[in-house]
Amino acid sequence: MSRRTLSWSAVLGMAALLALPALAAANSQDLEAAEAGKLAESVGINSMWVVVAAVLVIFMQAGFAFLEIGFSRGKNVGTVVAKILTNFSIAAICFWAVGFAIAFGVHDAFGIDGLWGTDGFFLTDYFGHPSPDPGVIPPDGGQAAFPVMGLSDATVEAKFLFQFAFCAVSLAIVWGTTLERIKFGVYIIYAIVFASLIYPLAAGWVFGGGFLQTGDWLGTGIAGMQDFAGSTAVHLIGATGALAVLLLLGPRRGKYGPDGKPRAIPGHSMPIFGLGVIILLIGWFGFNPGSTLGALDGRFTEVAAVTLLAAAAGVIFAVITAAWKTKTIDIGMAGNGMIGALVAITAPSGYVELWAAPIIGAVAGIIVPLGVYAIDKYIDDPVGALTAHGLCGVWGTLACGLFTAPRLAQYNAFGNPDGGLFYSGSFAQLIAQAAGILIVFTFVFSMSYGTFWLIKKVYGLRVSDEEEEAGLDITEHGMYGYPEQFIPAPELIGYATSPGSRDVPAPQVTPKEVTT
Amino acid sequence: MSRRTLSWSAVLGMAALLALPALAAANSQDLEAAEAGKLAESVGINSMWVVVAAVLVIFMQAGFAFLEIGFSRGKNVGTVVAKILTNFSIAAICFWAVGFAIAFGVHDAFGIDGLWGTDGFFLTDYFGHPSPDPGVIPPDGGQAAFPVMGLSDATVEAKFLFQFAFCAVSLAIVWGTTLERIKFGVYIIYAIVFASLIYPLAAGWVFGGGFLQTGDWLGTGIAGMQDFAGSTAVHLIGATGALAVLLLLGPRRGKYGPDGKPRAIPGHSMPIFGLGVIILLIGWFGFNPGSTLGALDGRFTEVAAVTLLAAAAGVIFAVITAAWKTKTIDIGMAGNGMIGALVAITAPSGYVELWAAPIIGAVAGIIVPLGVYAIDKYIDDPVGALTAHGLCGVWGTLACGLFTAPRLAQYNAFGNPDGGLFYSGSFAQLIAQAAGILIVFTFVFSMSYGTFWLIKKVYGLRVSDEEEEAGLDITEHGMYGYPEQFIPAPELIGYATSPGSRDVPAPQVTPKEVTT
Amino acid sequence: MSRRTLSWSAVLGMAALLALPALAAANSQDLEAAEAGKLAESVGINSMWVVVAAVLVIFMQAGFAFLEIGFSRGKNVGTVVAKILTNFSIAAICFWAVGFAIAFGVHDAFGIDGLWGTDGFFLTDYFGHPSPDPGVIPPDGGQAAFPVMGLSDATVEAKFLFQFAFCAVSLAIVWGTTLERIKFGVYIIYAIVFASLIYPLAAGWVFGGGFLQTGDWLGTGIAGMQDFAGSTAVHLIGATGALAVLLLLGPRRGKYGPDGKPRAIPGHSMPIFGLGVIILLIGWFGFNPGSTLGALDGRFTEVAAVTLLAAAAGVIFAVITAAWKTKTIDIGMAGNGMIGALVAITAPSGYVELWAAPIIGAVAGIIVPLGVYAIDKYIDDPVGALTAHGLCGVWGTLACGLFTAPRLAQYNAFGNPDGGLFYSGSFAQLIAQAAGILIVFTFVFSMSYGTFWLIKKVYGLRVSDEEEEAGLDITEHGMYGYPEQFIPAPELIGYATSPGSRDVPAPQVTPKEVTT
pLDDT at B514 over 70: no
Q: What percent of chain A has pLDDT over 90?
A: 68
Considering only CB atoms, C511 lies closest to which of B54, B59, B514, namely B514
pLDDT number for residue C90:
98
pLDDT number for residue C78:
96
- Return the number of other C-beta atoms located less than 10 Å from residue A34's C-beta: 16
CA of A161, closest CA in chain B: separation in Å?
A: 6
pLDDT at C168 over 70: yes
- Subunits with 3+ Cβ pairs within 8 Å of C are A, B
Cβ atoms A360, A406 nearer than 8 A: no
Cβ atoms A62, B272 nearer than 8 A: no
Give every CB contact of residue C300 below 8 A, 6+ residues apart in sequence. Answer: B47, B48, B51, C49, C289, C290, C292, C294
d(CA A63, CA A57): 10
pLDDT in tens, B445-460: 999 999 999 999 999 9
Give every CB contact of residue C156 below 8 A, 6+ residues apart in sequence. Answer: C123, C126, C129, C132, C133, C134, C135, C136
pLDDT number for residue A298:
87
- C-alpha distance from residue C439 to each of A160, C205, C237, C239 (Å): 53, 10, 11, 14
- Return the number of other C-beta atoms located less than 10 Å from residue C142's C-beta: 9
Interchain proximity C297–B39, CB inside 8 Å: yes
Name the least confident of A42-46, C48-52, C87-91: A42-46
pLDDT at C27 over 60: no
The answer to whether residue A421 neighbours chain C at the CB level (below 8 Å) is: no
pLDDT at B379 over 70: yes
Interchain proximity A478–B314, CB inside 8 Å: no
Stretch 63-122 of chain C: residues touching chain A, C-beta under 8 Å: 65-66, 69, 77-82, 84-86, 88-93, 96, 122
Considering only CB atoms, A55 lies closest to which of B56, B267, B297, namely B56
CA of A308, closest CA in chain B: separation in Å?
A: 22
**C108 or A429: whose pLDDT is higher?**
A429
pLDDT in tens, A471-498: 999 999 999 999 888 764 343 333 233 3
Interchain proximity A77–B311, CB inside 8 Å: no
Disruptive mutation site among A89, A94, A161, A188 for chain B (greatest number of B CBs within 10 Å): A89
Pick the closest to residue C103 from C3, C27, C213 (CA basis). C213
- C-alpha distance from residue C418 to each of A298, B407, C394, C397, C429 (Å): 37, 53, 22, 17, 9
Name the least confident of A33-37, A431-435, B314-318, B407-411: A33-37
pLDDT at A447 over 90: yes
C-chain CB neighbours of A257 within 8 Å are: 495
pLDDT number for residue A136:
38
Residue B504's pLDDT band (cuts 50, 70, 90): very low
pLDDT at B72 over 50: yes
Residue B151's pLDDT band (cuts 50, 70, 90): low
**B14 or B257: whose pLDDT is higher?**
B257
Give every CB contact of residue B379 below 8 A, 6+ residues apart in sequence. Answer: B243, B246, B247, B251, B386
The answer to whether residue B199 neighbours chain C at the CB level (below 8 Å) is: no
Residue B43's pLDDT band (cuts 50, 70, 90): confident
- Return the number of other C-beta atoms located less than 10 Å from residue A417's C-beta: 14
**C498 or A343: whose pLDDT is higher?**
A343
Q: What is the mean pLDDT of chain B?
A: 84
Q: What is the mean pLDDT of chain C?
A: 84
**B74 or C131: whose pLDDT is higher?**
B74
* For range A261-277, the mean pLDDT: 95
pLDDT number for residue C228:
95
Phi, psi of A195, deg, nearest 5: -75, -20
Cβ atoms A452, A189 nearer than 8 A: no
C-chain CB neighbours of A384 within 8 Å are: 498-499
pLDDT at B360 over 90: yes
The answer to whether residue C39 neighbours chain A at the CB level (below 8 Å) is: yes
Considering only CB atoms, C278 lies closest to which of B62, B122, B128, namely B62
d(CA B206, CA B347): 11
Interchain proximity B44–C296, CB inside 8 Å: yes
* For range C362-373, the mean pLDDT: 98
pLDDT at B90 over 50: yes
pLDDT number for residue C219:
62
pLDDT number for residue C499:
37
pLDDT number for residue C120:
79
Interchain proximity C516–A470, CB inside 8 Å: yes
Name the least confident of B375-379, C204-208, C490-494: C490-494
The answer to whether residue A468 neighbours chain C at the CB level (below 8 Å) is: no
Q: Based on the number of CB atoms within 10 Å of its own CB, is B111 exposed (0-12), middle (13-18) or buried (19 or more)?
A: exposed
Disruptive mutation site among B43, B75, B331 for chain A (greatest number of A CBs within 10 Å): B331
Interchain proximity C77–A369, CB inside 8 Å: no
The answer to whether residue A277 neighbours chain C at the CB level (below 8 Å) is: yes
CA of C179, closest CA in chain B: separation in Å?
A: 12
pLDDT at A469 over 60: yes
Characterize B23-32 residue by residue with b for buried, 16 or more Cβ atoms within 10 angstroms of its Cβ, and e for exposed: bbeebeebee
Instruction: Report the DSSP beta bridge partners of residue B262.
Output: B256
Residue type at C422 in one-letter notation: F
Residue of chain C whose alpha carbon sits nearest to that of B188: C316
Q: What percent of chain B has pLDDT over 90?
A: 68
What is the ipTM for the molecules in this complex? 0.88
Interchain proximity A498–B254, CB inside 8 Å: no
pLDDT at B491 over 80: no
CA atoms within 13 A on the CB side of A481: 26
The answer to whether residue A26 neighbours chain B at the CB level (below 8 Å) is: no
Name the least confident of A18-32, B179-193, C84-98: A18-32
d(CA C461, CA A192): 54
Cβ atoms C476, C462 nearer than 8 A: no
Residue of chain B whose alpha carbon sits nearest to that of A162: B305
pLDDT in tens, C254-270: 999 999 999 999 999 99
Name the least confident of A194-203, B199-208, C36-45, C401-410: C36-45
Pick the closest to residue B399 from B356, B365, B369 (CA basis). B356
d(CA C374, CA C376): 6
Residue type at A250 in one-letter notation: G
Interchain proximity A312–C55, CB inside 8 Å: no
CA of C276, closest CA in chain A: separation in Å?
A: 10
Residue B42's pLDDT band (cuts 50, 70, 90): confident
CA of C132, closest CA in chain A: separation in Å?
A: 10
pLDDT in tens, A81-127: 999 999 999 999 999 999 999 998 878 888 888 889 887 788 875 43
Interchain proximity C309–B92, CB inside 8 Å: yes
The answer to whether residue A160 neighbours chain B at the CB level (below 8 Å) is: yes
Strand blocks (E) in A23-91: none
Disruptive mutation site among C157, C160, C491 for chain A (greatest number of A CBs within 10 Å): C157
Residue A268's pLDDT band (cuts 50, 70, 90): very high
pLDDT number for residue C207:
87
Q: What is the DSSP string of A80-118?
A: HHHHHHHHHHHHHHHIIIIIHHHHHS-B-GGG-TTS-B-
A-chain CB neighbours of B309 within 8 Å are: 92-93, 96
Considering only CB atoms, C497 lies closest to which of A75, A376, A507, namely A376
A-chain CB neighbours of C59 within 8 Å are: 278, 282
* For range C403-418, the mean pLDDT: 89
C-chain CB neighbours of A407 within 8 Å are: 30-31, 34-35, 128
Residue of chain C whose alpha carbon sits nearest to that of A284: C55
pLDDT at A423 over 70: yes
The answer to whether residue A252 neighbours chain C at the CB level (below 8 Å) is: no
d(CA A165, CA A280): 13
What pTM value is reported for the model? 0.89
Pick the closest to residue B393 from B280, B241, B238, B236 (CA basis). B236
Ramachandran area for residue A135 (φ above 0: left; ψ -120 to 50: alpha; else beta): left
* For range C362-391, the mean pLDDT: 97
pLDDT number for residue A194:
98
A-chain CB neighbours of B308 within 8 Å are: 92, 161, 164
d(CA C225, CA C86): 33
pLDDT number for residue A27:
38
